[in-house]
Amino acid sequence: MKILYEDQLVDRDHVKIDLEDRGYQFGDGVYEVIRVYNGQFFTLREHLERFERSANELKMELSYSVEKLESLLKDLVLKNDVEDGGIYLQLTRGISPRQHNFPVGTKTMLTAYPLPSRRPEKEQLHGVKVKLVEDVRWLRCDIKSLNLLGNVMAKQEAKENGAFEALLHRNGTITEGSSTNFYLVKDGVIYTHPATNLILNGITRLKLMEIIKEGSFKLEEKSVTLEDLKNADEAFITSTTIEVVPVVEADNTMIGNGEPGPITRKLQSLFLGKIESEKSK
* Closest distance to ligand PMP from the beta carbon of 90 (Å): 13
CA distance 187 to 41: 36
List binders of ligand PMP among 127-156 (CB under 6 A).
Answer: 151
| DSSP-derived secondary structure letter, 143 | S
Catalytic residue among 129, 131, 144, 207: 144
- The CB-of-75 to ligand PMP minimum distance in angstroms stands at 23
Looking at the Cβ atoms of 96 and 145, the one nearer to ligand PMP is: 145
Give whichever of 89 and 203 is closer to ligand PMP, judged by the CB atom: 203
| 3-state DSSP assignment of residue 121 | helix
108 is a contact residue toward ligand PMP (CB under 6 A): no
Active site includes 144?
A: yes
204 is an interface residue for ligand PMP by CB under 6 A: yes
CB 232 within 8 A of CB 185: yes
Q: Which uninterrupted H or E stretch holds 152?
A: helix 149-160
Nearer to ligand PMP, 239 or 268 (CB): 239
List, edge to edge, every strand of the sheet that includes 40-41.
8-11, 2-5, 109-116, 85-92, 29-37, 40-41
193 binds ligand PMP, rule: CB under 6 A: no
- For residue 11, give Cα distances in angstroms to 75, 93, 241, 257: 14, 23, 25, 51
Q: Does 205 bind ligand PMP (CB under 6 A)?
A: yes
Best CA proximity match to 46, nearest among 237, 264, 210: 210
For residue 108, give the 3-state DSSP assignment. Answer: coil
Q: Please list, in sequence order, all residues whose beta carbon lies within 8 angstroms of the beta carbon of residue 100, skipping any fewer than 6 positions away.
A: 26
Q: Is 93 in the site for ligand PMP (CB under 6 A)?
A: no
Given 179, 192, 264, 268, the residue binding ligand PMP (CB under 6 A): 179
> Smallest distance from the beta carbon of 10 to ligand PMP, in angstroms?
26
Is residue 124 involved in binding ligand PMP (CB under 6 A)? no
If the CB atoms of residues 204 and 223 are measured against ligand PMP, the closer one turns out to be 204
* Closest distance to ligand PMP from the beta carbon of 219 (Å): 16
Q: Which of 167, 190, 198, 200 binds ligand PMP (CB under 6 A)?
A: 200
Task: Report DSSP state, residue 15.
Answer: -
Helix (H) or strand (E) holding 207: helix 203-214
Let me know: does 198 contact 170? Beta carbons within 8 Å: yes
234 binds ligand PMP (CB under 6 A): no
Give the footprint of ligand PMP on this chain (CB under 6 A): 33, 151, 176, 179-181, 200, 202-205, 238-240
- Residues labelled as active-site residues: 144
